[in-house]
C-alpha cells in the first residue's frame, strides 16, 4: 500500500512537472546555482542546484527579499550540468529536486579555496570547494539556526517571522560565535569548516553572504530539501544531520571534529550519539544554551561545553 507521504510526493512532482512545461513554453531555461563544497586529498564534493528561470533573470541575482520569496522556485529535475573544477570537466544531471551533489576524484592543490564552475546550457555559476589540508587534524561542524544566526526555534511564531518575513540582511548573528569559530580554526592552515543545518537549500545564497558579512570562517554548506519524501510529510532533520556527520567522518578520515550547535532542537542528542559512537573523531561538543550558565560536562572522554553565547563558550573551553 502506498503511504500518504509517498502520494504527496508524487502529487508534488506532478504539479512541478506541469509548471515546468508551462515555464519552458514561456521561455524559461535552467539556471544553475553553485554552493560551497569541501574536499581533501584527491576528492572534492561539488554542490549546486538547478532552477528554471526567465532568460532575463538569474536566481542568484535577487535583491534582498523576504524569506518566503526564496521558496517560490521551480526546480529543474534531470538537467544536464557541466562541472569544471581543477582542470577536470564532468557532465552530471540534477536529481528530482534539482540538486547537484557529486564527488569527483582529480589531482588537487594541497589545500585552499578551489573555484568550481557549474554550467547549465549557456548559464553558469561559480563557487568554491574548500580543500582541507591533507594533514588536517581538526575541523569544525557548525549548526546555523540559533547557533550562528538568531532564529528562536523554541518560539515557532518568532522563528517563522525571522525565516519567512525578514530578509537575511536584517537577521542578527549570535554574539561571539564568529570569534569562537575563528579561534577554533586558528593556529593551523586550512582547517575544514562545515555549516550543517536543517535549513533549506533555498536560503543557501543569503546564508553564505550572511556568514561572510559577519566574519565567520569560510566553509561548505550542507543544507536539505524541505519537500515531502516517500515516508514523511516533511524532511527528517535528524536523519539529515546524522547522515552528514557519518559522511564527513568517511570523507575526511584524519579529522577530529569540534561539533558546534545549540540546545533548542536535537543537536545535544545527535552530537552525543556521534561522540559515543566515534569518540576518536570528536575533540569537543560546544552547545549554545541560553537557559543556563557556562559549564562543562562530558560524554565519555569528550568535553561538552555549554554557554549562552560564543564568548561564554570560549571562556569555558578546557585547556
Per-residue model confidence as pLDDT tens digits over 136-186: 899 999 999 999 999 988 788 888 888 877 888 889 999 999 999 999 999
Q: What is the pLDDT of residue 115?
A: 94
Q: Of 131, 163, 194, which closes a domain?
A: 131
Query: Within this chain, do residues 187 and 122 fall inside the same structural domain, yes or no?
Result: no
Distances in Å between the alpha carbon of 16 and those of 21, 22, 102, 241, 309?
Answer: 9, 10, 24, 27, 42
Q: Of 97, 131, 165, which closes a domain?
A: 131
Backbone angles phi and psi of 156, in degrees to 5: -55, -40
Query: Within this chain, do residues 246 and 197 fall inside the same structural domain, yes or no?
Result: yes
Residue 224 belongs to a domain with what CATH number?
3.40.50.1000
Query: Within this chain, do residues 159 and 106 fall inside the same structural domain, yes or no?
Result: no
Beta-strand relationship, 112-120 and 80-85: antiparallel
Query: Within this chain, do residues 270 and 204 fall inside the same structural domain, yes or no?
Result: yes
Query: Within this chain, do residues 69 and 156 fall inside the same structural domain, yes or no?
Result: no
Q: What is the pLDDT of residue 319?
A: 76
Query: Within this chain, do residues 106 and 174 fall inside the same structural domain, yes or no?
Result: no
Distances in Å between the alpha carbon of 245 and those of 225, 238, 240, 252?
Answer: 17, 11, 9, 11
Higher pLDDT, 228 or 177: 177
Phi-psi region of 162 (alpha: psi -120 to 50; beta: other; left: phi over 0): alpha
Query: Within this chain, do residues 100 and 147 fall inside the same structural domain, yes or no?
Result: no
Q: How confident is the model at residue 53 (pLDDT cuts 50, 70, 90)?
A: confident
Domain that holds residue 118: 4-131
For 234-271, the pLDDT digits (tens) are 567 799 999 999 999 999 999 999 999 999 989 999 99
Contact 154, 76 (CB under 8 A): no
Query: Within this chain, do residues 10 and 78 fall inside the same structural domain, yes or no?
Result: yes
Q: What is the pLDDT of residue 71?
A: 64
Q: What is the pLDDT of residue 19?
A: 79
What value does the mean pLDDT take over residues 126-142? 92
Rounding to the nearest 10 degrees, give the CA dihedral for residues 207, 210, 216, 219: 30
DSSP per position, the chain: ---HHHHHHHHHHHHHHHHHHHHHHTT-EEEEEEEEEEEETTEEEEEEEEEEE-TT--GGGPPS--GGGGG---B-TT-EEEEEETTEEEEEE--TTSEEEEEEE----SSEEEEEEEEETTEEEEEEEEEPPTT--EEEEE--BTTTB---TTSHHHHHHHHHTS-GGG--BPTTHHHHHHHHTTTSTT--EEEEEEEEGGGHHHHHHHHHHTTPPP-EEEEE--S--SS-SS--HHHHHHHHHHHHHHHSTTPEEEEEEESSSSHHHHHHHHHHH-GGGEEEEEEE-TTS--EEEEETTEEEEEESSHHHHHHH---
pLDDT at 232 over 60: no
Q: What is the pLDDT of residue 135?
A: 83
Q: Of 131, 154, 182, which closes a domain?
A: 131
Q: How confident is the model at residue 67 (pLDDT cuts 50, 70, 90)?
A: low
Q: What is the pLDDT of residue 228?
A: 64
Query: Within this chain, do residues 144 and 121 fall inside the same structural domain, yes or no?
Result: no
Backbone angles phi and psi of 221, in degrees to 5: -110, 130
Query: Within this chain, do residues 154 and 294 fall inside the same structural domain, yes or no?
Result: yes
Which residue in this structure is represented by grid cell 545527535? 270
What value does the mean pLDDT take over residues 272-282? 97
Residue 170: count of CB within 10 angstroms of its CB: 10
What's the predicted TM-score (pTM) here?
0.91
Total domains present in the chain: 2
Amino acid at each position: 500500500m502506498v503511504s500518504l507521504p509517498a502520494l504527496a510526493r508524487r502529487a508534488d512532482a506532478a504539479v512541478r512537472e506541469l509548471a515546468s512545461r508551462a515555464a519552458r513554453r514561456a521561455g524559461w531555461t535552467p539556471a544553475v546555482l553553485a554552493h560551497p563544497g569541501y574536499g581533501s586529498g584527491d576528492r572534492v564534493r561539488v554542490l549546486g542546484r538547478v532552477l528554471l528561470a526567465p532568460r532575463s533573470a538569474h536566481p542568484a541575482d535577487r535583491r534582498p527579499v523576504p524569506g518566503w520569496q526564496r521558496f517560490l522556485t521551480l526546480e529543474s529535475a534531470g538537467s544536464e550540468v557541466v562541472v569544471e573544477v581543477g582542470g577536470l570537466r564532468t557532465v552530471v544531471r540534477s536529481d528530482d529536486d534539482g540538486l547537484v551533489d557529486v564527488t569527483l576524484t582529480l589531482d588537487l592543490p594541497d589545500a585552499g579555496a578551489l573555484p568550481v564552475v557549474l554550467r547549465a546550457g549557456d548559464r553558469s555559476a561559480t563557487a568554491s570547494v574548500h580543500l582541507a589540508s591533507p594533514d588536517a587534524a581538526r575541523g569544525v561542524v557548525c549548526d546555523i539556526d540559533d547557533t550562528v544566526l538568531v532564529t528562536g526555534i523554541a518560539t515557532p511564531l518568532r522563528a517563522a517571522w525571522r525565516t519567512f518575513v525578514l530578509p537575511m540582511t536584517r537577521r542578527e548573528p549570535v554574539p561571539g560565535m564568529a570569534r569562537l569559530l575563528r579561534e577554533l580554526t586558528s593556529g593551523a592552515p586550512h582547517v575544514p569548516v562545515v555549516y550543517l543545518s536543517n535549513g533549506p537549500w533555498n536560503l543557501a545564497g543569503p546564508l553564505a553572504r550572511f556568514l561572510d558579512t559577519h566574519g565567520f570562517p569560510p566553509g561548505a554548506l550542507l543544507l536539505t530539501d524541505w519537500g515531502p519524501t516517500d515516508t514523511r510529510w516533511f524532511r527528517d532533520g535528524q536523519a539529515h544531520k546524522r547522515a552528514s556527520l557519518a559522511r564527513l567522518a568517511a570523507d575526511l578520515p584524519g579529522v577530529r571534529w569540534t561539533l558546534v550547535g545549540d540546545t533548542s532542537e536535537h543537536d545535544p542528542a545527535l552530537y552525543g550519539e556521534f561522540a559515543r559512537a566515534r569518540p576518536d573523531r570528536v575533540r569537543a561538543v560546544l552547545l549554545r544554551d541560553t537557559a543556563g550558565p557556562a559549564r562543562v560536562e562530558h560524554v565519555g572522554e569528550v568535553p561538552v561545553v555549554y554557554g549562552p553565547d560564543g564568548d561564554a563558550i570560549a571562556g569555558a573551553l578546557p585547556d
